[in-house]
Amino acid sequence: MMQDLTAEEVERYADGEIAPESLPEIEAHLRDCSRCANAVLGVMQMKRAVRAAMPRFTPKRPLVLRKRASQTFVWFAAAAALIVIAIGSEMLVLSRNTSARELADLHSTILASANPIDVVSTDRHTVKPWFEGRVPFAVNVPDLSATPFRLIGGRVVFWHGRPGAYLLVSKGAHKISLFVFESLPSLGSTPQMTIDEWRANGLTYVAVGDVSRDDLEALRRAYGG
């Protein structure tokens, strides 16, 4: 027994575009299936009402051909543009999520290493000048003494060929990695870790850690972001 017609098949039948070899089976189904018959009837009535409401004129044949060719070109161009936009958007999302996962993995790798930081100090006046000459930008290391966070130290990291500053910060027993790079694109998110990013003075700050979103937002505020 034939299944119900799809919306596309209903449209094609109403427009007379069903292949001749399929027509007997579909018409037999419509005789036995009131739901599909009503669907086809509704589409036909709508198309008839639209045609009746629109003014019509009979242009010369060359004009009709040019109009059809122009409409076809416009439809193809619009469809191609939508496909490109959809693919581009999907690739952008995938790229952002991949970047977020990479930084989350880098966070885990650094913390698992024997020497996660090269300069060990809770004093920002020691850590900040340590980066001078090691990265091509000035590293902002604010005073965290009035916050629940504590500076542990820092190191230089390289990611996608970019040199960046890495600051290790703690909140209780939790460790937070703060990456600082020049002009990174938006990174997206990852279920592996909580990630927060912000921009200030031409630099991109990315905080990664197994803490809450509120904790990372508080760290951002401590950095003036």
Sorted by sequence, the CB contacts under 8 Å of residue 130 that are 6+ apart come out as: 118, 119, 154
- Among the four given CATH numbers 3.40.640.10, 3.30.200.100, 3.30.1330.20, 1.20.58.220, the one describing domain 100-222: 3.30.200.100
Q: What is the pLDDT of residue 87?
A: 35
Residue 110, pLDDT above cutoff 70: yes
Amino acid (one-letter) located at 7: A
Sorted by sequence, the CB contacts under 8 Å of residue 220 that are 6+ apart come out as: 196, 198, 205, 207
Residue 158, pLDDT above cutoff 50: yes
Q: What is the dihedral of CA 25, 30, 36, 42, to 10 degrees?
A: 120
| β partners of residue 154 | 119, 167
Q: Where are the domains of the chain?
A: 7-53, 100-222
SS3 144: coil
* 9-35 confidence digits (pLDDT tens): 888 887 888 887 887 787 777 767 767
Q: How many CA atoms lie within 13 A of 50 on its CB side?
A: 6
Question: For residue 22, what is the DSSP state?
Answer: G
Which residue spans within the chain are E strands per DSSP? 119-120, 150-159, 162-171, 174-182, 194-200, 203-209
Report the alpha-carbon distance of residue 199 to residue 190 in Å, rounded: 19
* 73-100 confidence digits (pLDDT tens): 554 455 444 434 433 433 333 344 567 7
Report the alpha-carbon distance of residue 70 to residue 48 in Å, rounded: 25
**C-alpha distances in Å from residue 142, one per residue of 86, 120, 189, 215:** 42, 16, 26, 16
**C-alpha distances in Å from residue 79, one per residue of 8, 82, 84, 215:** 18, 5, 9, 45
Residue 119, pLDDT above cutoff 90: yes
